[in-house]
Structure 1
Amino acid sequence: MDLRGLLRRTAMRRPAVLVVALPGATEIRLEVEAEVRRCGWPAAGAPAGADLMVVCGASEPGDAEWLDDIEGSMPEPAVRIVVEETGHAAHALERVRRDLTDRAVTPREADKDDQQAAAERESDGRAQGEHQGHGGDQGHPFPSMDHGQGGRAAHSGHEGHENHRPDDHAPHTDHMEHESHGGHVDHMGHDMHAMGEVAGLPMAERGDDRDELRLDQLHVPIGPGLTDWPTGLVLRLTLQGDVVQDVEVDHLPVPPGHRLPFWDEPWLRAAQGEEVTRGSAARRRCAAHLDSAGRLLAVVGWDDAAGRCRRLRDELLSGASREGIGGTLGVLRRVRRSRTLRWSIAGLGELSSSRAGEAGVTGPVLAADGDAYDRLRRWLDEIERGLEVLDDERQLPPDELTGPRGRLDGPRPPSQALFDILPELLTGAEFACARIIVASLDPDLDELALAPVSGAAHA
């Protein structure tokens, strides 16, 4: 084996992993992320930086196109696997690690054929050149173009800097633009051809902006397979310059409600008459908020703090005691004290409690009464309170139906109100800030399959 093959084989022992979750697969996603971290494998921030894509959950026929698009953006040798059930992550990842290691030194048969064909063409070209001499009019009229990297993104993740303003996050918006084509779903009715295309890229239209100027309009779909993005969410933005002018909210189909939404499970089980302790409900709430906070911090660029939040989330879900996680709580204090973080996201997605109440929003977003930073602070407050009652063995009352995102006994699921308020918060925002606003709400698509809770008191 040559040195290049040895280095590639060594690298494949720690493949960069891109985790793509499907609706209804929250528990599977959490298991896969925990196993990836246990293996010490890096997380890929974009398909171009991934060696392995792990699809969590059972895909529907309409998912094939955008999943194929994501895989097509990954460099060779690339592998895609599907984990459809909990308890299978460790075995699946170990098996695929061996497969990736083998591929690093054993080219695919198609690659061998391509190499042989290229060698034959080169040999034929030399023979033709010797026969025709050096006449300039005998060669190709245009220079050759290497399309091998044309579809690759030039970046592979967030950089862990903490001193950026939101508009410094151009790499993150690149992720959106690159992966949004992978998130295109035909059955949702989005027609990119209506704008006209050149080389497969959408062309801009003209429209009046807020300053009564005629500026280009560009229609940009975002999601559903974007890293650190609410599962299944699809946004179609109309941009003029870097300002969002219009927003259409869509999502992947929600699977039938044969299982309870993972984050709301303790409260819904208690409403059905099962015995659930207050401590277990508090543990699930803390883990849900840590998952949301980790997503927001990753979008802002605080990768280290995001990773620590996710580690604490996994420890709580695995049953760690309050004393056992004491050493990891410093991340919460660090996030709370950071003036840089506050300066980075303050003022984004402002939503007063009065307007939130009118829109049917409940839970932390209603109580935050402010912007993206206020919502993050609210999550941290609820985490710290919840950690104090992890060992509470008292029974959770069946009518205590407030999950991590709000009231579960209202006229509609709490995340439905969060989806509905998105256009209002995003319209007029800068494109670079859109992901921060979305992450600060973090709606859970699984809740949309939630049936009305019978026998419970309504808010």
Structure 2
Amino acid sequence: MDTPAAADLLLVCGVPAPEDGEWLDGIEWSMPEPALRIVAGESGRIAGALDMARRDLIDRTVTWHRADVADEPGAHEHGDHEGHGEGHHHDTHHDSSPPEASDDQGDQGPNRHRMDHGHGGHAAHSGHEGHEHHQPADHGQHKDHMDHAGHDGHMGHMGHEMHTMGQVAGLPMAERGDDRDELRLDQLHVPIGPALSDWPAGLILRLTLQGDVVQDVAVDHLRVPSVHRLPFWDEPWLRAAQGEKVTRDRAARRRCAAHLDSAGRLLAVVGWDDVAARCRRLRDEVLSGAPREGVDGDLRRTVRRVGRSRPLRWSIAGLGELSADRARAVGVTGPALAADGDAYNRLLMWMSEVERGLDGLDDARPLAPDDRTGPRGRLDGPRPPSQALLDVLPELLTGAEFACARIIVASLDPDLDELALASVSGAAHA
């Protein structure tokens, strides 16, 4: 689904950091009631957490339906017997039933509900003691930290962090500013991110809009934790740099899968869902070790279909123009440098590298330790490849139409996990 407004369950995989609470609250409060948020701290407990979440949602949906029926005119005209019999049914389940609203909550309805299914959650108990109610301080207050601006298809993708310049009912007021035609027009400050479908996880863009034109861009992101695991897409090259034995086919598979993942994200943003799904299926097959002859035909057909689509070229050509000279000047490496062009050129470069990578899928020779070229660029430079992609975003987005902003971001597809890398002894290590 494209927006939180279409969801009824928020699943948090892993234990969130304390500073992540605000934007998680923002996503949850963008979901219509009845809504549920669960935290699965360990991968082995996700299935059980989802089963319990399903039961909770059914209970809460029934409770809300009965409450709505009870509030309808004439619902109590036939006496209290039936209403009382129905009204207490949800108490037979665990405490997912909504507690009574306190005086300062008014008529806000049931409290939001959060379940922790990680360390010490449901999976650790025979009953349901692991549940804890999650009630943000006040619905109105939380709207100060959320973005509910706009109701069209693109504004529905807004993030959940508010850049306040003066607000009415939690929404930012427009300001006046000079536009590129030297006219004084309203300016609107719009944040996008950090959690959207087909969006670099954790990325936050704060845009200043005049009409539908981006006038200014500030790039931000959630804190990238310093962990001991290597970034997934760069792992083969980083392990080889550390002296581990890594085969070339492992690196080739990771590169092909990374480009298929990026292409699938861009195609999904453009709206070509069937080819996006095909790219993702091929990505999974390549990662799972499928033999070359098993994916060769389908992969080449997909590459040809993308390259021959005139509507696709017309829809994204000219967006995010980045020449090779400019890319080199700002430290961009990898496909974005080699593409020497716009969003369409970068998509074709991904697909071309995927096709070329087929020859290495069954190459059992060891990867050279000095091969430091990951899917997004050089891993032994002064900064991670994705940092350079983030740094060049403002100039590519400024002056673009708002509807094109997500296409430009998807055509670069920075991986924020790379920001935890540091250049150590000529090789990037996590």
* Residue matched to 1:59: 16
Q: Which shifted more, 379-388 or 401-410? A: 379-388
Deviations 1:128-175 (A, max 9, x none): xxxxxxxxxxxxxxxxxx999xx9xxxxxxxxxxxxxxxxxx954122
Deviations 1:331-371 (A, max 9, x none): 33211210110000000000000000000000000000000
Structure-2 change in CA distance of 1:269 and 1:435 (3 Å): same
* Residue number in structure 2 paired with 1:69: 26
Q: Distance in 1 between matches of 2:38 and 2:282?
A: 27
Distance change in 2, residues 1:455/1:204 (3 Å): closer
Q: Which of 276, 296, 303 is the aligned partner of 1:332?
A: 303
2:338 and 2:294 map into 1 onto residues whose CA distance is 30
- 1:266 is aligned to 236
From 403, 415, 418, the equivalent of 1:444 is 415
**Mean alpha-carbon deviation: is it higher for 446-455 or for 215-224?**
446-455
**Native 8 Å contact 1:172 1:432 kept in 2:** no
1:232 & 1:456 partners in 2: Cα distance? Answer: 25
Classify the secondary structure of the residue corresponding to 2:154: helix
SS of the aligned residue for 1:429 comes to: coil
Correspondence 1:136-175 to 2 at 5 A: 171-175=152-156
1:234 corresponds to: 204
Could you say which residue in structure 1 is the equivalent of 2:133? none
1:260 positional shift: 0.7
Within the alignment, does 1:395 sit opposite 2:366 as a pair?
yes
1:359–1:202: structure 2 CA closer, same or farther, 3 Å change rule?
Answer: same
Q: Does 1:369 align with 2:340?
A: yes
SS of the equivalent of 2:360 reads: coil
Hey, what does 1:214 align to over in structure 2? 184
Q: What displacement does 1:74 show?
A: 2.1
Is 1:78 aligned with 2:59?
A: no
Gaps of 5+ in 1: 1-43, 125-145, 152-169, 185-189
For residue 395 of structure 2, the aligned residue among 416, 424, 442 is 424
Q: 2:267 aligns with which of 297, 302, 320?
A: 297
Matches within 5 A, 1:406-425: 406-425=377-396
Kept in 2: contact 1:233–1:251 (CA 8 A): yes
Identity %: 72
Q: CA deviation at 1:54?
A: 2.3
Matches within 5 A, 1:344-363: 344-363=315-334
> 5+ unaligned residues in a row in structure 2: which ranges?
78-106, 110-139, 141-150
Q: Normalising to structure 1: TM-score of the pair?
A: 0.72
TM-score, normalization: structure 2? 0.77
Aligned-pair Cα RMSD in Å:
2.8
Residue 278 in 1 paired to residue 248 in 2? yes
Counterpart for residue 163 of structure 1: none
Alpha carbons of 1:66 and 1:316: their partners in 2 closer, same or farther (altered >3 Å)?
Answer: same
- Aligned residue in 1 for 2:6: 49
Structure 1 pair 272/222, CA: closer, same or farther in 2 (3 Å)? same
How far apart in 1 are the matches of 2:46 and 2:279?
21
Q: Deviations over 1:60-81 (max 9, x none)?
A: 1122122122122223433323
Q: What SS is found at the alignment partner of 1:54?
A: strand
Q: Is the 8 A contact 1:183 1:225 kept in 2?
A: no
Which residue of structure 2 aligns with residue 135 of structure 1? none
Is contact 2:186-2:211 (8 Å) kept? yes
Post-superposition offset of 1:114: 7.3
Shift of 1:238: 0.6
The 2-side partners of 1:337 and 1:183 are apart by 40
Which amino acid letter does the alignment assign opposite residue 240 of structure 2? A
Assess, with a 3 A threshold, how the Cα gap between structure 1 residues 98 and 327 changes in structure 2: closer, same or farther: farther
